[in-house]
Structure formats: structure tokens, C-alpha cells
């Protein structure tokens, strides 16, 4: 993902190089600790839970993000945001709860 993002941002890297160097520690922390570590631990933990539970946990990830952004940052969703979130949650739960047709 970092390589793809870097390729996409390549035209602007020359003008932002100074800021990137100044904030390299923060960028490294965000890439390694905040992104790679949770994905790695989720992959390890999936050994002990069913695929249904894993799908449900992945579905709830944006819900937790919205709740924590509300509590910690004071952000809020509009009507369209709540409707979209509701549709995504309902569709995911519905798709996981239907019996398989053979």
C-alpha cells in the first residue's frame, strides 16, 4: 500500500519532501504501529475464531472508528452518514446470516 500511495503522490513528493523528512517519525509510527500491527494481530487471532465471527468483527471496525472519533475528536455523522453506515451493517449481517443454498 505504501508503494502504491507513493507512486500516486510522486508528483507532489518534491514539494513536500521537507515536511516528510521533518515528520518521518510520525509517518513511520502510523504506518507500522497503527496500520501494520493491528492487521498482523487480526490475522493471528483469526486462527481461533470462525469465519462468521471474523466477518462480523471486520464489519464493526468502521462502527468503532465512528464511535471513537465522536468521543475523542468530537466528530459527528450527518443523516447521509448514518444511513450509509446502517445500510452497510444491515447488508453485511444479512449476508452472513442467510443459510447457504446448495
Domain ranges (residues) in the chain: 1-47, 49-102
Query: What per-residue confidence (pLDDT) applies to 100?
Result: 61
Which residues in the chain belong to E strands, given as ranges? none
Low-confidence residues in the chain, pLDDT < 50: none
- CA torsion 47-51-53-56 (nearest 10°) is 130
Dist CA 58 CA 42 (whole Å): 9
Q: What confidence tens digit (pLDDT) does each residue in 60-72 have?
A: 777 788 888 888 8
Is the CA virtual torsion 9, 27, 64, 80 positive or negative?
negative
Q: 3-class DSSP state for residue 49?
A: coil
Q: What pTM was computed for the model?
A: 0.46
pLDDT in the model for residue 56 = 76
Amino acid at each position: 500500500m505504501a508503494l502504491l500511495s507513493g507512486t500516486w503522490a510522486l508528483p507532489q513528493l518534491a514539494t513536500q519532501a521537507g515536511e516528510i523528512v521533518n515528520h518521518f517519525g510520525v509517518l513511520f509510527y502510523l504506518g507500522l504501529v497503527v496500520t501494520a500491527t493491528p492487521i498482523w494481530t487480526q490475522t493471528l487471532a483469526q486462527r481461533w475464531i470462525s469465519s462468521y465471527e471474523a466477518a462480523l468483527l471486520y464489519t464493526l471496525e468502521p462502527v468503532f472508528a465512528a464511535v471513537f472519533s465522536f468521543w475523542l475528536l468530537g466528530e459527528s455523522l450527518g443523516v447521509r452518514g448514518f444511513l450509509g453506515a446502517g445500510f452497510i451493517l444491515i447488508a453485511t449481517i444479512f449476508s452472513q446470516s442467510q443459510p447457504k443454498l446448495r
